[in-house]
Amino acid sequence: MDRIRIQGGRALNGTIPISGAKNATLPLMIASLLTEETLNLDNVPRLADVTLLQHILSNHGVDIMVSGKRAGENEHTGQSMHLSAKNIVDTTAPYHLVSKMRASFWVIGPLVARMGEAKVSMPGGCAIGTRPVDFHLDVLRALGAEIEIEAGYVLAKAKRGLKGARITFPKVSVGATHTALMAASLAAGESVIENAAREPEVSDVAECLRKMGATIEGIGTSTLRVQGAKRLKSARHTVLPDRIETGTYAMAAAMAGGDVTLAGARPELLQEALDVLQKAGVTVAVTNEGIRIARNGVSLAPVTVSTQPFPGFPTDLQAQLMALMSRAKGTSKITETIFENRFMHVSELARLGAKIQLDGDTASIEGVERLKGAPVMATDLRASVSLVIAGLAAEGETMVHRVYHLDRGFERLEEKLARCGAAIERVAG
Ligand code: EPZ
């Protein structure tokens, strides 16, 4: 298994191109199931999760073509992907595929909406919490599907199609909002989705569904009104930039020091995280190219942060902020409110010398003068990248094991950092 070796202590200077957002790409690819016509996606990142979802969708009968690079494009330009679900040959998503990637459970909405049936494995637990799917099932029930659970599978049936309904979520859920939007787009009549997730990736999917022929109002707000269409049609959509990748490199630059431009990044997608960085003493500037992050010699001030649904501070940047605050001058407090068990990185950061106390859902991070390199391993995507961030500032060598977690969600991470001067390399085997 590949590892990543980092020699800490080098500043970062240069430009990092921001890729298309993983968490928009996945539901956008799934939305291709809603139509017989081709869905064309641009700016698709090259990630292990994208490849895995290609396999999963192929299993349902989706034909997928990825365009090669065009003349004049630089190597970081995202791929173009053409997905054609003309013939859905199988409405079952088996355990061995769904258990590899939770988001593949989301095929359930489009499949039942278009085919009148779906049999999708329950995803099971994961490293960041129990993560149930009850809201997704409530959505489908509200839209008129019959739901049964049998031998670890959800069987959803709506032989006469789905019907628009009012859906009110008890808690904000990104995935269940995707399910509601996609299913309602092919349901008869109007659906109103209340307490919907306002994450930019949800809006990106809604914009794409609009291009495909659904009428959606309230995009970007917590009340979405959807007029379903009888059939959805072909569309072309460009995936929005990845705000979590942006925030991650912003924190990497803040940690290592230096001056980095995050090219193509959109500040409004992560305003809260940028505000937190500014409070910590990091220079943040919006430029024509994207966002510029600089820290030259100034020490980091501690912060108090609580993760929240968008537009609040994202849970997907919590581990990275914790790594950064491990070097602040003083004690920071970070509360995780979205997932109950998203602190697996704490003990690994401690191996590098971080001083972190956990009390329920709150971590107190007492900044230390120096971190020291060590071998570390992580359990999920964002936790692994927090170890890379810590490694950039740790003295000596940090070896990050289980790099496959990183490859799920960060395109060419070591290359992007190395180009800005980090001593980081992938060690094969
Ligand atoms: C999405 O997961 C993201 N994944 C996650 O990113 C992200 O951390 C999360 O949203 C929160 O922003 C993708 O977009 C592929 P939720 P999702 O439904 O949709 C509870 C990453 O690292 N809940 O918004 O699965 C749930 O347990 C990943 O890229 C229910 O109780 O998250 C959690 O406490 C990790 N019942 C809360 O809602 C349900 O049926 C929010 O989860 C569904 C969710």
Q: What is the 3-state secondary structure (H, E, C) of the chain?
A: CCEEEEECCCCEEEEEECCECHHHHHHHHHHHHHCCCEEEEEEECCCHHHHHHHHHHHHHCCEEEECCCCCCCCCCCCEEEEEECCCCCCCEECHHHHCCCHHHHHHHHHHHHHHCEEEEECCCCECCECCCCHHHHHHHHHCCCEEEEECCEEEEECCCCCECCEEECCCCCHHHHHHHHHHHHCCECEEEEECCCCCHHHHHHHHHHHHHCCEEECCCCCEEEEECCCCCCCEEEECCECHHHHHHHHHHHHHHCEEEEEECCCHHHCHHHHHHHHHCCCEEEECCCEEEEEECCCCCCCCEEEECCCCCECHHHHHHHHHHHCCCCCEEEEECCCCCCCCCHHHHHHHCCCEEEEECCEEEEECCCCCECCEEECCCHHHHHHHHHHHHHCECEEEEECCHHHHHHCCCHHHHHHCCCCEEEEECC
Is the CB–ligand 1 distance for residue 307 below 6 Å?
no
pLDDT at residue 128 in the model: 65
| Binding site membership of 171 for ligand 1 (Cβ less than 6 Å) | yes
pLDDT of residue 212: 98
Q: What angle do CA 120, 315, 317 make, to 5 degrees?
A: 120
How many other C-beta atoms can be found within 10 angstroms of the C-beta atom of residue 299?
A: 12
Residue 270: CB within 6 Å of ligand 1? no
User: What CATH fold (topology level) applies to the domain 3-15+242-427?
Assistant: UDP-n-acetylglucosamine1-carboxyvinyl-transferase; Chain (3.65.10)
Distance of CA 272 to the CA centre of its chain: 17
* Dist. CA 133 → ligand 1 center (Å): 10
Rounded distance, CA 39 to CA 37, Å?
A: 7
How many Å lie between the centroid of ligand 1 and the Cα of residue 175? Answer: 6
Question: Counting every residue, how long is the chain?
Answer: 429
Rounded distance between C-alpha atoms, residue 302 and residue 305, angstroms: 10
**420: annotated active-site residue:** no
Q: Whose CA is nearest to atom 25 of ligand 1?
A: 175
Q: Is 133 in the pocket of ligand 1 (CB under 6 A)?
A: yes
* Antiparallel, parallel or unpaired: β 331-335 and 304-306: parallel
Task: From 2, 3, 1, 4, select the one nearest 417 (Cα to Cα).
Answer: 4
Q: Is residue 311 reached through a cis peptide bond, with omega within 30 degrees of 0 on the bond before it?
A: yes
User: Which are the contacts of 343, defined by CB distance < 8 A and separation ≥ 6?
Assistant: 336, 358, 363
Model-level pTM? 0.97
Given the residues 52, 126, 147, 399, select the one marked as catalytic.
126
Question: Nearest residue CA, atom 44 of ligand 1?
Answer: 173
Pocket test for ligand 1, best of 50, 53, 138, 174 (most atoms within 8 A of CB): 174
CA–CA gap between residue 234 and residue 212 (Å, rounded) = 6
The span from the CA of 287 to the CA of 170, in Å, is: 39
Tens-binned pLDDT, residue by residue, of the chain (429 aa): 899 999 999 999 999 999 999 999 999 999 999 999 999 999 999 999 999 999 999 999 999 999 876 767 766 678 999 999 999 999 999 999 999 999 999 999 999 999 999 999 998 666 666 679 999 999 999 999 999 999 999 999 999 999 999 999 999 999 999 999 999 999 999 999 999 999 999 999 999 999 999 999 999 999 999 999 999 999 999 999 999 999 999 999 999 999 999 999 999 999 999 999 999 999 999 999 999 999 998 999 999 999 999 999 999 999 999 999 999 999 999 999 999 889 999 999 999 999 999 999 999 999 999 999 999 997 889 999 999 999 999 999 999 999 988 999 999 999 999 999 999 999 997
Q: Do domains 3-15+242-427 and 24-238 have the same CATH topology?
A: yes
What CATH code would you report for 24-238? 3.65.10.10
In this predicted structure, what is the pLDDT of residue 378?
Answer: 79
What are the residue boundaries of the structural domains of the chain, listed by start? Answer: 3-15+242-427, 24-238
Let me know: does 228 contact 189? Beta carbons within 8 Å: yes
